[in-house]
Each structure stands twice: as C-alpha cells, then as structure tokens.
Structure 1
Amino acid sequence: MGSTFSGIELGKRSIMAHTDAITTAGHNISNANTEGYSRQRVQLKEFDPLYKPDLERAERSGMIGQGMDSQSINRVRDELLDQRITEQQHSESYWETRSKYYTMIEQIYNEPDDVSIRSNMDKFWEGWQELSVHPESQAARQAVVTRGESLADSIKTKWEALMGVGNLINGDIEATVKQVNDYTRQIASLNAEIVRSRGMGDNPNDLLDRRDLLVDKLSKIINITSDMRDSDEFMVHLDGHVLVQGGVARSFDLETVVDNNGYDKLVWKDTGNEAVIKGGTLGALIELRDVDIRSEVQSLNTMTMNFSDLVNDIHRNGYGANNVTGLDFFTQHSFVENVNGNYDRDGDGTLDHSYIFRFTGTTKLNPQEQIGLEGVMTLSGSGGNVQVAYHPTDTVETVINRINDSNGEVKAYLDRNNNLVLKGTTASAVENPDFVIRHVEDSGFFLTGYTGILQASGAAGAYDYAQADAVQALAGAQFAVSPVLNPAGYIEVNQALKNDVMSVAAAYKDNSGNVNAGDGRAAVEIAAIRNTKVMIGHERTFDDYFADSVTNVGLKGEQAENMHLSHSAVMEDLRSLRDSISGVNIDEELADIIKFQHGYNAAAKFVTVWDSLLDTIINRLGV
C-alpha cells in the first residue's frame, strides 16, 4: 500500500520541478542580450507511478501517481537551420569585404582631373607636340622635362596608393589568420568539455551555445561546414579538409613567397601545403591582395614599363639641341647588372637564369605582307607554354595580333623601323617574375630567318630563360635586360636632362649626318606614341589602358556592392528565422514565470494540506 507520507514527497517533487522551470525562465531573461544564447526549456514529465503492472501489485483501482519531475533542460535550436546559416554565411562576409576594399580602390582611381595620370600624360604628349613645332626652343624642352616629372610623380603616387591598400589587406590577413587559429583552438577545447559533461549525464547547454557562436563567427571568416560523427565527436571541415575533429584542431601559418612584394602565402601548419580559402573574409582578403591589387599594380607597371621603354627607344636614338644623343628620357633600373641578364635565382652562387625583357628582330617587315610560311610558335604563358600557329596566307599584322590575343605572356608589335619586337609581360603566377621572357620557340621559320630573332627552329633552337646566357639562342637580335620589380614605383626623368634641358632629343641626323636645329622628327615620333597601337596586352593604346582600368575597377566595385546586398538580404531572413526560434522573448518568459509561480504556490498549498492531514492522524486520531 502507499505510504502515509507519500503526499509530502509528491509535493516536494512538484515544488522542485516548478523551481527548475522558474529558474530556467530567469536564466533566459538574464541572457536575453547575450550573444549566441539560445533560450532553454525545462522538459517536465510525470513521475513513475507507485504500482507497476506486474503480478505483485496490490489489487486496487488504477495506478497511484507520484507527481512530476524535471526530465531535462534543453536548448530550443533548429540544427538544420544552423547548418544552413553556417554554410551560407561566408558568402555574405566575402562580398562585404570586397565591397569595403573596392570603395578604397575606387577612390584611388577617382583622381581630380588636374593631377590624374591621364591628365598629366595628355600634357606630356602636348609638350612633345609643342617641341616638334619649336625644336629650337629651350622653354619647350623645359616644359617636356617638367611635365615628364609631373607624370612620373602621379604614376608613383598611384602605385604607392595601391601598395598602401595591399599592405593594409596583408595586415588584415595576418590578423585574421591568428583569429581563425584562436577560434579553432577554442572550439576543440569546448568539444572536450562537452564530451566530459555529457559523459557525466549532463546537458551542457551553455557550452553548446558558446561552441555554436564560435562556429558562427568562424563561418564568416572561412567557408566551413560542421557535422557530428556518431553522437559525441563534433567536426569542422574546410573544403574537404578536417579543420577541427573533437578535441584536436589544425591551424594555419604564413610562409614568405619570393617576388611577391614581401607578402606571405597561407599554408597548413602541420603539412606545409598551401591552404586554399575560397570564401569568407579571409578568402576575400587573399583574393583582393593576390589577384585584384596585384592585377592593378601589374597593369600600372605594364603601362609604365612600356611607356618609358617606347619613349626611351626613340629618345635614345635622337639628338638634343647640344648634339647629345644616347640618353634615355626616363631612368630605367635593370634587374641585374649582367649585360646578358644572367641571374642566380636559387641563391647557390651560380648564375642559372636569364632575365630578358625585350627582343628586337633584325629584319624590316611589311605589316600587310603575307608571310608564306607554316609553323607553330611556342611562348610562355600563365598555365604553361601556349602555342600560336601561323599559315602562309597570314599577314605579318595577323600573326602579331594572334600572338597578342593568345594567353601567352609574350607580346609582339612592330617598332618604328618595322622590326618585330617581342616583350615579356607581367606574370599571372606569383612564382614567375614579371617582365621576363621565359620561353620562345618556333617550329618553322617566322621567328628565325623571316624576323631575325632566333637562330634556329625547333626545340634545339628555342630560347629558354632557365639557363645562363640564354641570349645565345638569338640571331643577332637586340635585347634588353628586365627591369627591377615595380617600375611604377621608381620611374623618374633622367637626371642628365634635368641638369641640361637642351639634351632633350627632338631631331635625327639627316642623310649627310648633320643635325638641323629646326628638325623635330624625334619629338613627332614620341608624340605619336599616344595613339599608336603599341600597348602590350589586350589594350592596344594608352587611351585603351586608361579607359579599361577605370571601367574594370568600377564594374568590380558595383558587382561587390550588389552581391553584398543580395546575400545580406538572404542572411537577414535566415537570422530572423533563427531568432524567432531560439531568441529570448522577455514577455513570454515573464508569462512562464507567472504560470510556474502559480504551480509552485499550488504545490506548496498541497504540502500544507497534507501536513495538516498528517497532524490530524498523528496528534488527534483517537483523542
């Protein structure tokens, strides 16, 4: 039979269960503004009855109830929704980061008209036009030098601004990598605590909230996914790689890359292999630094290098009013002092590479003439060597356009003497040097006897930079050693011209070998560079470069802003849905407190009544 005191125990259980419910509601209210907190609910259940259905139970009507008990305290959380947010959140932060930095890049290109590179370059060309009309004028020469200095300063200012943004991004990358490593360590530590807590039969809701918050923050930085193995081992993955497994966390490190402006690449600390991050804040920062900013700097360097090279090529062969010749207008700094461009790339003390920027053929060509030759040229490219075929019916101009339209990193044009010029461009791969011709080969005779660049056809006669004295493969072609990295950062007018502006070349020698004071042919040629199709790359003229560079930055900035707004709208809906499920509603919690308070009062009254009954039985029965 049931105990006389069973009612006291029943009331006690009810009081304790309602106390748990009130305490949990108070805990929810206290953490209403705590980041990452999920509201909790007490799972109440009826206590096991006094009599179970077996052969030894007393014969009586029904089972006697034992009251209620707190079964567990659980978080209110939608795990599928959490996974969806984790998997999509990196896209929002990726575009947000790109949008923020492209605002800075756009500001660099939004220069005032009177100090922009384009404005200064227009004034530079106008100075040469004026000099061509008045070649005997010292004032016109002074104007050319002064405007050249202004142009060089504006180029250097833009380069410094781009590198400033690049350095800022690089600093953010270093800080973000430390943050990622810190988050993964904390997640792994929490995993171990959660497993120990569950092993004791507890439900560590607050630890789970803290872990979910860290995963949420980590998903904004890198493109991760998370899952549970079995029931205890929580895992975080990054593009198929395990980042966190239970109590073990992997971390990242930064490794220096040669010829990358001192910037580091991201590697896995345990293996040393390169880590590829495609999303999140870190993925956007790496892409901005190594692709966007690098591309803008390379584009500026390409324009600067080819601009100064073309001006110098004419100026060097012209004569000043004082009969001085052989001077470059802009100072160029060769990458190596060796006249053949030989360079010790691996630092072992032996010259093992040839850094050559330009080849100039020995044969004067007619751009409209059909070549009458068949073959395939092999040129260095971004993903390996590329092949450019030519046919007997092709004209010289057609072949040149085909070279420039290929994915090769060797471009071509005809110089003022109609000799074929091959130039190295900036390299797509970080490990390859800029403005270095790495490979030139021809199965036929276009680059050999026809243009006078290579000595022999086929692989045996190919030029390849991965050896010293590679220029021996050339058939008497002129060549120029590659410049120091980032020519846009150090371009300046030749000091000799600043000291004596009469050395500025405007004339050529006539047929008798004399220089006439009124000759302005060299100045005319330099002024004509402005609209001549000589720009290396897809842009054919310098005007094409300015138009494309501004348009490209503007379109990428617009894309980043639009994609950020789109992903933000999607994530806002998802977060609102999560808040409606897991967020704390103070009004709801207060209502629960009142409800459980009434239950508590009723249970206390029940205990009081039962105590009165026991008092009657013990102290008054039989009196």
Structure 2
Amino acid sequence: MQSTFSGIEIGKRSLLTHNQGLQTIGHNLSNASTQGYSRQRVELGTVDPLYRPQLNRAMTPGQIGQGVETTRISRVKDMLLEGRIVANAADEGYWSQRDKYVLQLEQIYNEPSESSVRNLMDKFWDGWQELSIYPEQMSARQQVAQRGEALAEGIQNRYNSLNQLRSVLNDEVHVEVSRINTLTDQISDLNAEIAKVQAEGDEPNDLLDKRDLLVEELSGIIPVTIETKDPDEYSIYTNGIHLVQGAISRTFSTQTDPQNDGYSMVVWADSGAEFRPESGSLGAHIELRDQDICQEIQNLDNLAVNMADIVNEVHSVGFGINGRTGEEFFEHHPMVTNTQGNYDRSGDGVVDSSYIFRIGGTNQLTAQDQIGLEGTISLSGPNGLVEVPYRSDDTVQDVLVRINNSGAEVVARLDFQNKLTLKGAPSQNKDNPDFVIREVSDSGQFLAGYAGLLLESGDAGAYRWDQPDAITSLRAGADFAVAPLSHASAWLSVNPEILEDPASIATSLAVQNRPGDVGDGRVALEIASIRNSPVMVGQISTFDDYFADSVASVGLKGQQAQSALRTQEAIMKDLRDLRSSISGVSIDEELAQMIKFQHGYNAAARFVTKIDQMLETIINRLGV
C-alpha cells in the first residue's frame, strides 16, 4: 500500500537531485579555465515504481511513480577524438623540437657573414694568391700565417658551437627520460585510484581528466598507443611494448655510450635494451644529437682533415725563403703514435689493426687517358664492401668519379703530382672510426700495375685494416698517412714554427735539388689553386661546393621542419578545437542548465510545501 507520506519522499528526492545538478554546474563553471577539464552532466532517471507485477501487488490502476534520482554524473568526452589527439601529439612534439634546434643550427653557420668559416677560408686562399705574387715580402707571409690561424680558430669555434648544441640536446634527453618516468608513475597511480572508485560504482570523472591530460603530455614526448579492451586495466604501449599496465609502470634510464662520444642512450631500466623512439620530442632530440648535428660535425671534420692534408701535401715539398723544407703548414695530430699506423683496437695489449687515413700510388697518371684495363675495385662501405667496376675504354677520370659516387667510405683523387690518392671518409657506422681506410682490393691491374698503389691484384694483394702492418700490401714507395685524431675540427691549428718564423712558409720548388729562387711563388700558387680544385671532400668536389652544400642542407632542413610544424599545428588545432566544442565548458550553456535545475528545485520545494499542508489537514483537522 502506498504510504500517506510518500509525497514527502518524492519531493525530497527531487530536491536532492536538483541540488546535485546545481552543484555539478557550479563545478563546471569553477573549472571552466582548468586545463584538461571535461564538462560533466547529471543524468536523471525515474525511481523504480512502487508496484511491480507480482502476486501480492495491491489492486491499483497501474504503477505508482516514486520520483526522480541521479543515475550517474558523466563526462562529456569523445574517446575516439581523444585517441586521434594522442596519436598526433608525437608528431607535433617531434617537429616543434626539430624546428627549434635546426634554427639554432642555422645560427651557428651564420652564412654569409664576415666571421663565417667560408669568409675566413676565402681570405686564406686570397692570402696565398697574394703570396704567390710577392713571395719575398714578409708582410705577405705574415698575412698567410695569421689568416691560417684565423681560419683554424673559426673552424674550432664552429665545432665548439656544434658540440655545445649536442650537449644541450643530451641534457634534454636526460630531462625527458625523467619526465617520462614521472608521468608513467602518476598514470599508474591514477589507474589504481580509478579502479577503486569504479569498483564502488562511482564515476571518477576528475581522475579520468587528470589521466587523459598526463597521457597527452606523455604522447608529446614519445609515441604511445592506448588500449582499453579490458575495462579493469588501462594500458599504454610505446614501440609495441607495454609502458603502463594498470597499476604497473615501466621506466627508462640512461647509459653512457662510449661509441657515441660518451653521450647517453636511453634504455629500458629493467632489461637494459636500447629505446629509440621514432617521433615525439625525445625522438627529435636523439635524432638531432646523433644524426643531424653528428653529421654536421663529421662534415666539418672532413673539411678540416682534407684541407690540412692537401695544404700540407703541397707545402711540405716546397722551400721557404730561409731554405727550410719538409715543413707542414697545419699541425697534424695522429690517432696513433706508431708510424706504421698499428693500433690495439681490442685493448688487450697487442696491436691488431692499422689506422691509415691516406694511401697514394707511385705512378703519375693523366686524367683523360684511357686505362685499357678491366676489373673490379672493392672498397669498404657503410655495410660491407662496395664494388666499383672499370672497363678498358674508361678514362682515369671515369674511374675516379665512379669511386666517389659509389657510396664507399673511401674517396679518390689525383694529387698535385698527378698520382692516385685514396682517403678514408667519415664512417656511418659508429663502431668504425672516421677517416680510416678499412679495405681496398682490385681484381684487375688498375690499382696495382697501373697506379702503382697495391703490391699485387686479387684477394692476396688486398689492403685490410684488421691486421697490423697492413701497409706491407702497398707497393714500395707508395705514400701513406696515419689516421688523424678524432674530431680534427677541434684541434686544427697552424704549425707553431710557421707562426714563429713566417720565412719558413714554403713558396718555391726545388731547382736541381736546391731551394728555388726567392721570387719563385709556384708552391703558393699551387696552394691558392686548391680553392677550386677537385679535392673530393666525400662526394663534394671542391671546398666551395662543400660550403654551398652545407648551407643548402641546413636551410632545407629548417624549411622542412617549419613547414611540417605548421601542418601539424593546424591538424592539432582542429582536433583540439573540436574537443573543446564537445568537452569544453560553455558559460551560456551552463547558465541555461542552472536556470532549469533552479526552477526544478523551486517546483520540488513547492510540492513538498503542498504535501505538508495536506498532511497538516489530515493530522490536525480530520474528525474535528
């Protein structure tokens, strides 16, 4: 039987429900500017009616309603849209960091400017050109020495700037690894709290918002994917590996990588396996540090090594006005002290390798002569050997071009005496040293009999670096040079003896085994002509080509990063604007909802008053 006082209960429920609606609206309005907050809605439902279809139900003309109740307080959230935002956040983080640091890289190059390396090198060549005209003047010699020192300092300054930028990026990696670990710990803790609240049948809306905000921040650092198939276990993956699984999270740590100049690599803390994200801000920082800037440093080292080697090659055969010869203009710092290049690569106390930078033939060649030989030259490459075939109708120049365009980590040129020279190039594999020739062989006679470089052809005459005294495979009288100390751009400097006595600067060639005339400037002219000579700095033909390629490369990287960032920002703006239109708090809409609940509350209060008046009639007036 329905109670006489049931109307009071219905009114009370209505008052409580509308009061809860007003409180929820107040919560929304209070958090209108809170980052990551999703507006909440009170979902209303009818209370189960008094009578259900059963045998003992009262004989009444239908079910009697028992008022309203709050069924749930839900977040207004589009989870598919949230997944798209998380998926795209990694690209936004990646390109924003690339754009930021490539801009700093462009500022380091500072081209064109008075203090740029290119301008300093132009002045250096101009100094030699003037010296070739006035070899007897000490002022011209001092100018060459000073400009050489200025060029060396300019190259060192560029190296230091690039190295400092790498160090900054390395610090960024450490900071982001720490931030990732903090975020995953916070997310796993929230997962545990959310599971407890949901187990009690409540809606942890604010906790869910906090978790979504942390996940979006995490997705900007590393690429992540979310899995919610199991409603009791919220999981996050990166590179296909579990990062967060419910209340359990995995962490990262950093380890020093001796093969990468001592910079840190990111590893999984539990397994020690290396982690290299392909996108996100962490992926951008690692890529910039280990690829882009490392490549720029290698290119600068390549410039410094080859410039010093070629200038010294010419300078050492000339005579200064004081009669001295055999002097190197730039200082040479070998990687190993052994004059044969023998080195203990394994660190067991026994020499097992040969670190040779340059090997040169004994025969003079003419670039346009046909070689009349056939065979295949095998050279060390980034991933094994690179084969360079040659035919009988090829010219010497054809073979050189084919070697330099083969992708091998060995380059070829004719020196100023027209003898074949092979040089080690920077290595793409960090396990191999830069500027070390690792293997050279020839199935035919081009390198052996024709160029006078190898002692014999075939596998038996191959030059291989993984043994001591590898130079014994070279023909007697062949020229060679020990590999330079790593990062030549950091230590490049003019020979102190040249700076102390500019009269030692070579300008003349020998005449009948005696120093040339004081007015002989052929050596200075030869060095000045290096500016536009095919020096083969890797696949770059001349030094001018090197600068043009370097500036263009950095500029294109900057343009690509800027364009990609604008595109990604536009995509993310559209997604976030759409999310805001769905989940964001609208003041006008909330005020409209407030009026609705306010009227509902007032109506419920009026209803309770009327019921109270009816009960008063029954209690006080019935039977009077």
| Structure 2 partner of 1:566 | 567
**1:610 lines up with 2:622 in the alignment:** no
1:54 positional shift: 3.0
| Structure 2 partner of 1:93 | 93
Contact 1:133 1:520 in 2 (8 A): yes
1:443 positional shift: 2.5
Moved more, 106-115 or 19-28: 106-115
Contact 2:412 2:536 in 1 (8 A): no
Counterpart AA for 1:534: V
| Structure 2 partner of 1:507 | 508
Equivalents in 1 of 2:26, 2:315: separation in Å? 84
Moved more, 439-448 or 172-181: 439-448
Equivalents in 1 of 2:269, 2:298: separation in Å? 30
| Structure 2 partner of 1:479 | 480
Moved more, 77-86 or 367-376: 367-376
Give the 5 Å matches for 1:38-437: 38-111=38-111, 113-437=113-437
Moved more, 24-33 or 261-270: 261-270
1:72 positional shift: 0.8
Counterpart AA for 1:399: V
Moved more, 455-464 or 348-357: 455-464
Contact 1:412 1:536 in 2 (8 A): no
| Structure 1 partner of 2:548 | 547
Counterpart AA for 1:270: D
1:112 positional shift: 5.8
Q: Residues 268 and 353 (structure 1 numbering): CA distance in 2 closer, same or farther, change over 3 Å? A: farther
Q: Secondary structure at the match of 1:136?
A: coil
Contact 1:42 1:70 in 2 (8 A): yes
Q: Secondary structure at the match of 1:58?
A: coil
Equivalents in 2 of 1:245, 1:439: separation in Å? 50
1:270 positional shift: 2.0
| Structure 2 partner of 1:591 | 592
1:274 positional shift: 1.9
1:546 positional shift: 1.1
Equivalents in 2 of 1:593, 1:416: separation in Å? 89
Contact 1:259 1:433 in 2 (8 A): no
Equivalents in 1 of 2:129, 2:233: separation in Å? 76
Counterpart AA for 1:221: I
1:45 positional shift: 0.3
1:449 positional shift: 2.4
Equivalents in 1 of 2:181, 2:348: separation in Å? 36
**1:532 lines up with 2:533 in the alignment:** yes
Equivalents in 2 of 1:490, 1:38: separation in Å? 58
Q: Secondary structure at the match of 2:196?
A: helix
Q: Residues 394 and 281 (structure 1 numbering): CA distance in 2 closer, same or farther, change over 3 Å? A: same
1:570 positional shift: 1.2
Equivalents in 2 of 1:533, 1:445: separation in Å? 25
- Identity, % of aligned positions: 52
Equivalents in 2 of 1:373, 1:269: separation in Å? 58
Q: Secondary structure at the match of 1:29?
A: helix
1:614 positional shift: 1.9
1:446 positional shift: 2.2
Equivalents in 1 of 2:222, 2:531: separation in Å? 46
Counterpart AA for 1:388: V
Q: Secondary structure at the match of 1:412?
A: strand
Contact 2:106 2:555 in 1 (8 A): yes
Q: Deviations over 1:536-560 (max 9, x none)?
A: 2121001101111111111111111
Q: Secondary structure at the match of 1:401?
A: helix
1:450 positional shift: 2.3
Equivalents in 1 of 2:513, 2:589: separation in Å? 103
Contact 1:343 1:468 in 2 (8 A): yes
1:404 positional shift: 0.4
Equivalents in 2 of 1:321, 1:60: separation in Å? 128
| Structure 2 partner of 1:459 | 459
Q: Secondary structure at the match of 2:384?
A: coil
Q: Deviations over 1:85-127 (max 9, x none)?
A: 1101111221111111121111122256322212221111111
Contact 1:258 1:431 in 2 (8 A): no
Moved more, 431-440 or 294-303: 431-440
1:578 positional shift: 0.1
| Structure 2 partner of 1:11 | 11
Counterpart AA for 1:614: L
Equivalents in 1 of 2:198, 2:146: separation in Å? 77
| Structure 2 partner of 1:450 | 450
Equivalents in 1 of 2:443, 2:196: separation in Å? 70
Q: Deviations over 1:498-536 (max 9, x none)?
A: 111110000111135343222211111111111111132
Q: Secondary structure at the match of 1:265?
A: strand
Contact 1:47 1:66 in 2 (8 A): yes
Q: Residues 144 and 466 (structure 1 numbering): CA distance in 2 closer, same or farther, change over 3 Å? A: same
Q: Deviations over 1:353-387 (max 9, x none)?
A: 22211111122222222222222222222233222
Equivalents in 2 of 1:170, 1:223: separation in Å? 19
Q: Secondary structure at the match of 1:56?
A: coil
Q: Secondary structure at the match of 2:422?
A: strand
1:17 positional shift: 1.1
State the number of aligned residues. 623
Q: Residues 570 and 8 (structure 1 numbering): CA distance in 2 closer, same or farther, change over 3 Å? A: same
Q: Secondary structure at the match of 2:381?
A: coil
Q: Secondary structure at the match of 1:229?
A: coil
Moved more, 529-538 or 378-387: 378-387
| Structure 2 partner of 1:557 | 558
Q: Residues 174 and 10 (structure 1 numbering): CA distance in 2 closer, same or farther, change over 3 Å? A: same
Contact 2:537 2:546 in 1 (8 A): no
For structure 1, the residue ranges without an aligned partner over 5 or more in a row are: none
Contact 1:136 1:517 in 2 (8 A): yes
Equivalents in 1 of 2:207, 2:440: separation in Å? 62
Counterpart AA for 1:539: I
TM-score by length of 1: 0.97
Q: Residues 268 and 469 (structure 1 numbering): CA distance in 2 closer, same or farther, change over 3 Å? A: farther
Contact 1:265 1:274 in 2 (8 A): yes
Contact 1:303 1:535 in 2 (8 A): no
Q: Secondary structure at the match of 1:417?
A: coil
Q: Secondary structure at the match of 2:363?
A: strand
Counterpart AA for 1:289: R
Counterpart AA for 1:541: T
Q: Residues 503 and 259 (structure 1 numbering): CA distance in 2 closer, same or farther, change over 3 Å? A: farther
Q: Secondary structure at the match of 1:233?
A: coil
**1:519 lines up with 2:525 in the alignment:** no
Contact 2:128 2:144 in 1 (8 A): yes
Q: Secondary structure at the match of 2:330?
A: coil
Contact 2:138 2:502 in 1 (8 A): yes
Q: Secondary structure at the match of 1:376?
A: strand
Q: Residues 126 and 299 (structure 1 numbering): CA distance in 2 closer, same or farther, change over 3 Å? A: same
Q: Residues 571 and 164 (structure 1 numbering): CA distance in 2 closer, same or farther, change over 3 Å? A: same
Moved more, 253-262 or 127-136: 253-262
